[in-house]
Amino acid sequence: SARPTLLSPDAIRTRFSRAMSDMYKAEVPQYGTLMELVADVNEETRRADSRLDRRLVENGEVERLHLERHGAIRLGTADELATMRRLFAVMGMVPVGYYDLSVAGVPVHSTAFRPVEPEALRRNPFRVFTSLLRLDLIEDEGLRAEAAEILSRRRIYTPGCLALIHTAEVQGGLGEEEADRFVAEALETFRWHSAATVSADVYRRLRGAHPLVADVVCFKGPHINHLTPRTLDIDTVQARMPERGISPKAVIEGPAPRRVPILLRQTSFRALQEPIAFKGADGEGVEDGTHTARFGEIEQRGAALTPKGRELYDTLLAQVRGDVQVKGDGSNAADYMAALSRRFEGFPDDEETLRREGLAFFRYTPTGKAGAPATDDVEALLAGGYLKAEPITYEDFLPVSAAGIFQSNLGDESQQNFAARANRAAFVRDLGADPADEIALYARAEAQSREAALAALKVEAA
Ligand code: OOG
Ligand code: NI
């Protein structure tokens, strides 16, 4: 039979992220409310800040803004993770970064599946923060074995999904009709199931070890637990959430509010309590109960930092957390935000200094001004107005912030610090691949933009 014309992975990713958003909107109405609030605030911010608006338009970021979101899932086994890598590859998403969440007392380690090429990111930067449960961090040996046994019995991918992943690998992509089927089949893996695979008693015991263990082990699949739209002004969205009946967590994770945004600021609302049908204790009938897993989150993205910039960020944040630990009831949130602002005065807040001091990554482009001298001297070309430099957007996550998000949706907002017990080697083995180094990706994007810009100026000069 004739080979189908293959769709680009970017197109499949956009279909999938739309389908996922529609599904989540139908399942969690507050997500739809949050999306509307974010869209309103983004509109207002663009209108109020013409420089920001011009940049968004010029860089083709306006198109991506309303598509932009990330999600998160938690997997139970190495096989599930390795297959997830193949599933996301169909959509041009590869594992980037390794995150150790044991520091926050959460027994998982994670990566982010996302596109990496600048053009693919511009089209649709959809990302999924993907965690793997670490049963090795569960103390109780019996419980550990029981959890492993339950997980070994479940199949989180439909046979149709597995077949289409294989087709994509063999063909080097999917055709139109195959892509639509793939999106529908893949969506099944991320769907919410209100029926547990275990009894309420087993659920309670696993929950006793850690709420995350129960969330991963007791269900048919890794329900998507949040989808996060990108806002241009997170402080305003946070302040207005209550007007729309949403109560946010006490503090915004990440850096202090700034003129030039860096990295990532995030806030979330508490997970919903949802009705669950557990299996009857005697193996028959059902027992009604509840589970909290799904929540809402928003984020504001800023400049990607160089290792030097990141070190400064980590140092300042550690100082803030030494000054003030947010209490479980959020009563000292204002003290925390004040300490954050005070400490982050130590982080330069203008683009020129960030660039000159090598704190952030920048993208170089010709301005279109005629008559550039024949030189590779970037500083001279910038000063002469022939080149411009703009911060490269951070596309990844932050472990301390992720821990804060995990904790808040587990119903405990008190900040805790635990000993790190990272095991990157085990994660790489289970994933079946080495996650890409995010710093190397930003450095490459910066270098490529500089070379392309210089080459373009030379062509024009010749
Ligand atoms: C993931 C939490 C981390 C983020 O944005 O940092 C995260 C989870 O709760 O599964 O999504
Ligand atoms: Ni998130």
Nearest CA to ligand 1 atom 5: 402
Q: State the distance from the centre of ligand 1 to the C-alpha of 193, rounded, in angstroms.
A: 20
Listed in sequence order, the residues at least 6 apart from 188 whose beta carbon sits closer than 8 Å to its beta carbon are 158, 161, 221
Nearest CA to ligand 1 atom 6: 402
Of all ligands present, the nearest one to the C-alpha of 402 is 1
Ligand 1 contacts CB of residue 401 (under 6 A): yes
What number does the ligand 1 atom closest to the CA of 228 have?
Answer: 5
**Complex prediction ipTM:** 0.99
Nearest CA to ligand 1 atom 11: 72
Ligand 1 contacts CB of residue 266 (under 6 A): yes
Residue 454 to residue 432: CA distance in whole angstroms = 39
Nearest CA to ligand 1 atom 3: 402
Ligand 1 contacts CB of residue 130 (under 6 A): no
Ligand 1 contacts CB of residue 77 (under 6 A): no
Angle between helices 29-48 and 50-58 (to 10 degrees): 110
What number does the ligand 1 atom closest to the CA of 397 have?
Answer: 6
Q: State the distance from the centre of ligand 2 to the C-alpha of 228, rounded, in angstroms.
A: 6
- Position 414 scores a pLDDT of 47
Residue 182: both structure tokens together: 């793939």
Residue 12 to residue 124: CA distance in whole angstroms = 10
Q: State the distance from the centre of ligand 2 to the C-alpha of 64, rounded, in angstroms.
A: 18
Q: Which domains does the chain have, with CATH numbers?
A: 9-302+393-431 (3.10.180.80)
- Position 29 scores a pLDDT of 87
Reduce the DSSP state of residue 35 to 3 states and report it: helix
Nearest CA to ligand 1 atom 7: 402
The Cβ-side half-sphere exposure at 377, using a 13 Å CA radius, reads 10
Listed in sequence order, the residues at least 6 apart from 26 whose beta carbon sits closer than 8 Å to its beta carbon are none
Report mean pLDDT in 10-residue bins for the chain, 462 residues: 85 96 92 92 93 87 82 97 98 97 87 96 94 91 96 97 98 97 98 95 92 94 94 93 88 94 92 90 88 90 97 96 85 92 96 97 95 92 96 94 79 52 93 97 97 90 70
- Position 413 scores a pLDDT of 46
